[in-house]
């Protein structure tokens, strides 16, 4: 009985020692390597310096970029190499804003 217990113990120890350690993740795959200063300040302000969680949705179609937060959807137009804010649609959802601008 002792031999079986010793063999099982040695087998367990050898298997656990042979298991490779998992690498610690270095960050989310969705987080960019660089963030423009204006974007960083915008996100800092939205989260009130980390005092609250922020949830938003974003999408782009054609030359429009849509940003939905709890207040509504902000619409941006792509011109001269960057997006410029063109409208704010209070209380609107992302899908409704995208449908509205798909017609224009």
pLDDT tens-place string over residues 21-57:
666 556 667 778 888 898 899 999 999 999 999 889 9
Q: By residue range, what is the domain housing residue 63?
A: 55-104
Per-residue pLDDT at 35: 85
β-bridge mates for residue 58, sequence order? 67
The total of structural domains in the chain comes to: 1
Angle at 61 between CA 91 and CA 35, to 5 degrees: 85
Determine contact, residues 43/36, Cβ cutoff 8 Å.
no
99 lies in some domain = yes
Per-residue pLDDT at 23: 61
Using the predicted structure, report yes or no on whether residue 72 has a pLDDT greater than 90: yes
6 lies in some domain = no
Specify the residue for token string 């963030």. 35
Q: For 52, what's the count of Cα atoms within 13 Å in the CB-facing half-sphere?
A: 7
29 lies in some domain = no
What does each C-alpha distance from 93 to 4, 49, 50, 89, 97 come to in angstroms? 65, 26, 25, 9, 6
Per-residue pLDDT at 25: 56
88 lies in some domain = yes
11 lies in some domain = no
- Phi first, then psi, for residue 27 (nearest 5°) are 150, 170
87 lies in some domain = yes
Is the pTM here over 0.85, yes or no?
Answer: no
2 lies in some domain = no
49 lies in some domain = no
Distance (Å, whole) CA 40 – CA 46: 10
Q: How many helices (H) and strands (E) does the chain have?
A: 3, 4
């Amino acid at each position: 009985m002792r031999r079986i217990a010793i063999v099982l113990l040695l087998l367990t120890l050898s298997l656990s020692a042979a298991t490779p350690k998992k690498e610690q993740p270095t960050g989310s795959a969705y987080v960019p390597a660089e963030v423009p200063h204006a974007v960083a300040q915008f996100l800092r302000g939205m989260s009130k310096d980390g005092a609250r969680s922020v949830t938003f949705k974003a999408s782009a179609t054609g030359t429009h970029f849509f940003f939905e937060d709890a207040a509504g959807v902000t619409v941006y137009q792509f011109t001269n190499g960057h997006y410029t804010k063109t409208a704010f649609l209070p209380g609107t959802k992302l899908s409704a804003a995208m449908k509205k601008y798909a017609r224009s």
